[in-house]
Amino acid sequence: MSSEWPLWEVFIRGQHGLNHRHVGSLHAADAEMAIHNARDVYTRRNEGVSIWVVRSADITASSPSEKGPLFEPSNSKVYRHPTFFDIPDEVGHM
């Protein structure tokens, strides 16, 4: 129905220095209203220092039916994981 508000995806940054993370979606007439609604719906418990919103329709997603060709080839390539290095003790936990 065209009179429905479009859907927006909401990204919140929890603390300075961290990445914005997807927290959910909501309806709003435009970007400004989406920010207001995101503030009210997703930051009620002091979760955020920054909000991004983007129209859900503007997100291009990979197709589930292509997951074989897209992801399976990386299954058996252990050499892509950097697990073959000896880490000097002084580096500590990495």
Partner 1 sequence: MEAETTTEAAIDRAALFEFLLRMGDNTLMLGHRVSEWCGHAPALEEDIALANTALDLIGQTQLWLGLAGEVEDKGRSADDLAYLRDVYEFRNLLLTERPNGDFGKTLMRQFLFDAWHYLRLQTLLSSTDRRIAEIAEKASKEVSYHLERSRDLVIRLGDGTAESHARMQQALDDLWPYTGEMFMTEAADTALSAAGVAPEPQSLKAEWDELVAETLSEATLRKPTDGYMHGGGRRGMHSEHLGFVLAEMQFLQRAYPGATW
Chain positions contacting partner 1, by CB under 8 A: 5, 26-29, 32-33, 36-37, 39-41, 44
Distance of closest approach, residue 58 Cβ to partner 1, in angstroms: 19
Cα distances from 10 to residues 28, 32, 53, 63, in angstroms, run 11, 12, 5, 21
Distance of closest approach, residue 1 Cβ to partner 1, in angstroms: 14
Distance of closest approach, residue 46 Cβ to partner 1, in angstroms: 13
Q: What tokens were used for 75?
A: 């299954």
* CB nearer to partner 1: pick between 45 and 80: 45
Spacing of C-alpha 37 from chain mean position: 18
* CB nearer to partner 1: pick between 29 and 70: 29
* CB nearer to partner 1: pick between 18 and 57: 57
Tell me the torsion sign for CA atoms 40, 42, 43, 44. Answer: positive
What are φ and ψ of residue 11, in 5° steps?
-125, 130
